[in-house]
Each structure stands twice: as C-alpha cells, then as structure tokens.
Amino acid sequence: MLEVTGLTVAYGAHVAVDNVDLDAARGEVVCVLGPSGCGKSTLLRAIAGLEPPVAGRIALGGQDVTAARPDERHVGLMFQDHALFPHRSVGENVAFGPRMRGAAAADIERAVRDSLALVDLEGFADRPVAEISGGEQQRVALARAIAPRPRLLMLDEPLGSLDRALRDRLLTELPRLFAAVGTTVLYVTHDQEEALSLADRVAVMRDGRFAQIGAPEAVWRAPADGFVARFLGHEPILAATVRGGVAATALADVPVEAADGEALLVVLPGAVSLAADAGDPAGPKVSGEVTARRFAGDHLALVVATDAGVELTVGVWRAPAPEPGERVDLAIDPAEVTVLPAGDRAS
C-alpha cells in the first residue's frame, strides 16, 4: 500500500529525512519510533503531502503521489494536538473529511455514525467539542481521521498529551480499531511501549535515517546497534572481548554464541534476577549492595551497585524484598543477553 523510496526532505542546509526507504502492506501497522528531532514527523508530513521532498518517490497503492496535492492522496492524518474545530459539534468535525471529498449527504451521515461507533462515541454527534473531555476529544480526532476511510491512516504522537490511565486504555483499544477499519496505519511515536505493543513492524529512526526495521520482538531482543539498544531502555551495555564462546566484561564472564573478537554485550531487562530466585542458572553470579528500591506497580525494582562497579536493576516479585544497604547475589541469564559488534555506537 505504501512505498517510500530514497525520500529526502531538507530545510535549507538541514537534512531532516535522509534517503529513507519504507514500505507498508495493506492492513499493516508500522510504527516509526525515535527521539525528538530525528525526522519521524517530517517523514509523516512528506507522505501526507505537507512537506515537499527534495528527492525520492512516494507511492500509494502502486500510484506515484510524490507530486500530488494532499487532498489527492486519500490519507488520514491525526496530530497530537487533535486540531479539532472547537466551535463545531462532534458530528460536524467527523463529517469534515467525507464532505471535502464530495460525499452525498446520506453517505456523510453514515460515515459519521459508523466512525463514532468505532471509537465508542455513539450518541455524541450533536455535542459541542468544547464540552467533552480530553479523552473524548482524542476519540473524535480518531473518528475524523478514519471517517473518509483513507487507504493510509497516519497518527503523529496521538497519545502524547493524555494522562497515563487514559493512554493505557487507548493502547488496548487501538488494535481493535485498526483491525475494524482495515486500513494501513503509519504510527509515529517516541514511546517504546506504544510502538512495541501496537506495531506489526517497528522502524527505529535516528538523525533522519532508519537504524533498524523489524518485528517488535526481534527489534527488542536483537537491537541492531548500541543506539537502538539504549533507546529501547536496555542497560547496561558493556564492552566485551569474546573468546571461545565466552564474553569477558567488567561485570562478569558470560557464555555467548558469538564470533571471537571485540564486542558490546547488551543486558536485556530479564537477564538479571536474585540468585535465590534463579534456580540453577547457566550464567555467572555477581554480588553487590542494594542502593535504591522503587515501587513499580506489580513488582519492586532494586538498583544494585555490583562489586565490579557496574550498576544493575533487578525486578523482585516476592516479599520481603531486600532493603537498601543489604548485600545481594545476582544471577545473569545468558539467554537474555545480546552481542553486538564493537563498532556499533553505544550512545
């Protein structure tokens, strides 16, 4: 459905999107993930026709739309700030897209009704936008984006302004909505949890280029380089020397399946546990002192300063948990570490 080839967008001497290739199949959800300023929103705007590229090609459904006007592309676009018409009703906002496309009155009414039903806002059509909650406005913005039944639905940080409870609720509802609409979705976010939970594929962006594209679990468990690993929250990332299936690091010697040579060892979040909870681990044990303890909802997160000088975080799901100042033994699961070439940047 979407084919982006060699796309470059520049503002004077600043290249915001640099020779990018991206594709998305019909009905696929692709999340573009990256830090602020990496070019992900600019990419979205270029695909929508709001930013002219200096090079490259954009095709939708096999049709070259690189030079097409935004209204000719039949895409839906939703921004973080909703961009609703504040002095119009919910129904008038949702009707905007079908009306601009010249739909008949009966078809507009049906599109409004069906779109509001998809976002669980039946009966809201006559309500003023200014009199509904922020979460309801978020749903209205989604309904407006999908009302014209676009061939490509693009969402730019759609949950960024919501409180945590509402954001978590919408995270569980969006997959149902995407499946019901059946359109291709391009979803831009800087939030790793959003991307990994919603996407069929994740495209991690850095400095206008893609650092890695793949299935969420593959990207999570096997980041392409140190930047991707750190952006996903993997810590620590240790310099290592691999010899004969063992990675020697400042923390410990860890069994790995990797070629001999200099490397980076990425410790995934599930790699470290209290030795007393680990059974008979195949990997090494390390010791250290608990320096902090924080409540994380369903578990406690302990920060441990190891004797090797490397700080580790370990989750504890049982009580009582060690207190700050206590000594603990930790086990490292070799199945939960990833080895990267030493040339990959870790920052």
**pLDDT 10s digits, 227-251:** 999 999 898 999 999 999 999 999 9
- The whole-number pLDDT of residue 279 equals 66
**Of 169-183, 184-198, 214-228, 313-327, which gets the smallest average pLDDT?**
169-183
| Cis peptide leading into residue 150 (ω within 30°) | no
More reliable by pLDDT, 298 or 142: 142
H, E, C per residue of 86-126: CCCEHHHHHHHHHHHCCCCHHHHHHHHHHHHHHCCCCCCCC
Cα(294)–Cα(317) distance, integer angstroms:
12
Cα(319)–Cα(277) distance, integer angstroms:
12
Which residues make Cβ contacts (< 8 Å) with residue 51, sequence separation at least 6?
9, 42, 45
Q: How confident is the model at residue 82 (pLDDT cuts 50, 70, 90)?
A: low
Which residues make Cβ contacts (< 8 Å) with residue 48, sequence separation at least 6?
70, 73, 75, 77, 154
Q: Taking the model in full, what pTM does it have?
A: 0.86
Judged against a pLDDT cut of 50, whether residue 171 lies above it is answered with yes
| Token pair for 185 | 């979705």
pLDDT in tens, 21-64: 999 999 999 999 999 999 999 999 999 999 999 999 999 999 99
H, E, C per residue of 331-343: EECHHHEEEEECC
Q: Are 284 and 312 in contact (CB under 8 A)?
A: no
Neighbours of 87 (CB within 10 A): 9
Judged against a pLDDT cut of 50, whether residue 116 lies above it is answered with yes
Q: 261 vs 244, 264, 281, 333, CA distance in Å?
A: 10, 10, 25, 21
266-273 average pLDDT score: 90
Q: Give the residue among 32, 10, 12 at the shortest CA–CA distance from 200.
A: 32
102-123 average pLDDT score: 88
**Residue 11: in which H helix or E strand, if any?**
strand 2-11
Sequence letter at residue 54 = V
| Token pair for 24 | 């998305």
- The whole-number pLDDT of residue 240 equals 94
**Of 92-101, 102-111, 153-162, 193-202, which gets the smallest average pLDDT?**
153-162
More reliable by pLDDT, 159 or 8: 8
Length of the chain: 347
Q: In degrees rounded to 5, what are phi and psi of residue 236?
A: -85, 170
Sequence letter at residue 182 = G
Q: 215 vs 179, 199, 220, CA distance in Å?
A: 18, 8, 9
- The whole-number pLDDT of residue 281 equals 67
Which residues make Cβ contacts (< 8 Å) with residue 155, sequence separation at least 6?
77, 78, 145, 185, 186, 187, 188
Judged against a pLDDT cut of 90, whether residue 8 lies above it is answered with yes
pLDDT in tens, 286-340: 999 999 999 877 788 999 999 999 999 998 887 788 999 999 999 999 999 999 9
pLDDT in tens, 206-229: 999 999 999 999 999 999 998 999
To the nearest whole number, what is the mean pLDDT of the chain? 89
**Exposure b/e, 294-303, CB count within 10 A at least 16 = b:** eeeeeebebb
| Token pair for 169 | 């609720």
Q: Give the residue among 288, 298, 283, 299 at the shortest CA–CA distance from 324.
A: 288
- The whole-number pLDDT of residue 280 equals 66
Domains of the chain: 2-227 (3.40.50.300), 228-341 (2.40.50.140)
